[in-house]
Amino acid sequence: MAGMLVALAACDIPTSAPQWDQTWVVPGEDMSLSVAELLPSGVAMTPDSSAFVVSIDGTSVSFTLGDFCSQCAALNGTTAPKPAFDTTLTTVEMLPADLVSATVSGGQFSVTVQHQFSFDPLRPSPSDSTNTGYLTIAVRSAGRVVAMDSVDGADADGAFPANTPRTLTLPATPGPIADSLVVEVHVYSPAGDTTTINTSAGLDITLNPGTLDVSQAEVAVSNIAANGTPTTMDLSGLPDFVINHVQSGALRFTIDNPFDVSGSFTLSMTPPGGPSITKVLNIAPGTTNPRIDFTGTELDSLLGQSNVTITTTGSLTASGGTVTVSPGQSMTFKTDLELTDLIGGKNQ
């Protein structure tokens, strides 16, 4: 067991046998509450705690040729020269609930497009290699382009035939995202050869499930359940005269809370075989030094025991509704147990 500090705290001037108080301090172990406890569903830590990982669930949307080719409507069901069209189609993926914003540091998007047209929109005149279109995919959020890629019909791999999915991988550029991810698919298709016009033929856009690495996140925190890492305190090596004369005591804390959150925890001290002694521990932002008092009777059940387990469970709320967190952050709890003994008296 770690060393103990002994201090003479008070003395009664006796008319009989003298009595005095001694204060003993038993060093405790550190506890912590990881930033992972504040992360909403859909946001996790990397194994090495170097980044957050935001899960992208994925989303799909379908359009018909009639949705974006107004000239095709009059030609529906006929065989005619393919009209030109130039359109931008969008689908939206919301960020995980309670993730307000984040700073992307890595990752990528995967977007798949396919169509059921009777023509290749990027090469609508197969015999004319100069008559080509293009397709651009962009992912936008927080007023910026997060990722972009394109397919040019003039390139060697620029063909886009019907019923053949085309998947593009778009590396994410570092920077902010917020609220949602908007996938924009811009298709330019020039006029082309004679073909059967079917305005019900579809164009499908799919943002595939994936992940983004995030270096910082703003999360909503309101009565979120949080559990500190349990620790133990060895109280078995105290001298008998300390245990026999204990009158009261206190578990003293130095709490370093880097998050702008506060709340109330239930603290339990449980000796082997129980029962637990439970107290209330209030949490505030910054560095605080709360103290939890124990009666002599409560301490009698703990002193002399090895591996007294200390656990904290409770809920936390951000003062402004949201809090900005970074990987590797944690709330730390340094503890020691202060014991007050009454020494002396006619029975000592």
- Read off the pLDDT of residues 59-112 as tens digits, 9 standing for 90 and up: 999 999 999 999 999 999 999 999 999 999 999 999 999 999 999 999 999 999
- The predicted model scores a pTM of 0.84
Round to whole Å and give the CA distance between 57 and 289: 43
Q: CA dist 93 to 31, 87, 165, 215, Å?
A: 38, 20, 20, 20
- Which pLDDT score is estimated for 10? 42
- Which pLDDT score is estimated for 124? 98
- Omega before residue 275 within 30° of 0, cis: yes
- Which pLDDT score is estimated for 341? 85
CA angle at 17 for the pair 14 and 23, rounded to the nearest 5°: 80
Residue 198 neighbours by CB under 8 Å, 6+ apart = 65, 76, 77, 117, 118
- Read off the pLDDT of residues 14-70 as tens digits, 9 standing for 90 and up: 455 555 678 889 888 889 999 999 999 999 999 898 999 999 999 999 999 999 999
- Which pLDDT score is estimated for 24? 87
Residues of the chain with pLDDT under 50: 1-14, 345-348
Do 233 and 27 form a contact (C-beta atoms < 8 A)? no
Helix-, strand-, coil-residue percentages of the chain, each rounded to 5: 5, 55, 35
Round to whole Å and give the CA distance between 143 and 96: 19
Query: Mind listing the domains of the chain with CATH numbers?
Result: 5-40+221-344 (2.60.120), 58-208 (2.60.120)
Q: Which two tokens stand for residue 5?
A: 């500090």
Long-range contacts of 4-10 (CB under 8 A, 24+ apart): 4/238, 9/340
Using DSSP, state whether 4 is helix, strand or coil: coil
